[in-house]
């Protein structure tokens, strides 16, 4: 799952990789519209698997942060609107997901995206954030 979920600079929301074409990718939005489109080589496409968040120690993968938030919220969607949430509400969710996040390098815009993307993934049933072996390895540390 995590290799096929994409964020695209300049486009809101998340996308699922459907197919690869010559010099482009066919994507489908992860919302109720399921709209398909193509992105070219000039678009900045990032797999969520490649994203990490800054901590006071080692960086943590975004998928692990989603898993932590999922566990803290008992599998429910976050009950705040990330676009309208106050800074204190965002900090509260960030502390649930990653208590030792780097308070200087993780910005409120990052926290907003985290909650927004988390809600999209959970509402679409994309909750296999961390593979079983990865989860066991991180618990054993």
**pLDDT digits 0-9 by tens, 76-98:** 999 999 999 999 999 999 999 99
**pLDDT digits 0-9 by tens, 36-61:** 999 988 889 999 999 999 999 999 99
Task: State how far the alpha carbon of 140 is from the alpha carbons of 110, 135, 136, in Å.
Answer: 28, 9, 6
Once rounded to an integer, what is the mean pLDDT over residues 104-130?
Answer: 91
Q: Evaluate whether 83 touches 42 at the Cβ level (below 8 Å).
A: no
Using N-to-C axis directions, what is the helix angle for 87-97 and 62-72, rounded to 10°? 100
DSSP category for residue 23 = S
The CATH number of the structural domain formed by 5-48 is 2.30.30.730
The yes-or-no answer to whether 5-48 and 51-139 have a common fold is no
Q: Evaluate whether 42 touches 86 at the Cβ level (below 8 Å).
A: no
Domain boundaries, the chain: 5-48, 51-139
Name the pTM for this structure: 0.85
Select 51-139's CATH number: 1.10.3470.10, 3.40.50.12280, 1.20.1290.10, 1.10.10.1650.
Answer: 1.10.10.1650
């Amino acid at each position: 799952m995590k290799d096929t979920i994409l964020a695209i600079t300049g486009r809101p929301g998340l996308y699922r990789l459907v197919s690869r074409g010559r010099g482009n990718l066919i994507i489908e939005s992860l919302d109720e519209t399921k709209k398909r489109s193509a992105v070219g080589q000039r678009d900045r496409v990032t797999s969520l698997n490649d994203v990490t968040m800054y901590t006071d120690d080692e960086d943590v993968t975004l998928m692990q942060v989603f898993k932590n938030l999922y566990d803290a919220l008992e599998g429910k969607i976050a009950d705040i609107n990330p676009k309208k949430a106050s800074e204190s509400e965002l900090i509260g969710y960030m502390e649930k997901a990653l208590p030792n996040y780097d308070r200087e390098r993780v910005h409120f815009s990052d926290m907003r995206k985290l909650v927004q993307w988390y809600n999209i993934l959970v509402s679409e049933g994309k909750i296999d954030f961390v593979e079983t072996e990865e989860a066991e390895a991180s618990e054993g540390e």
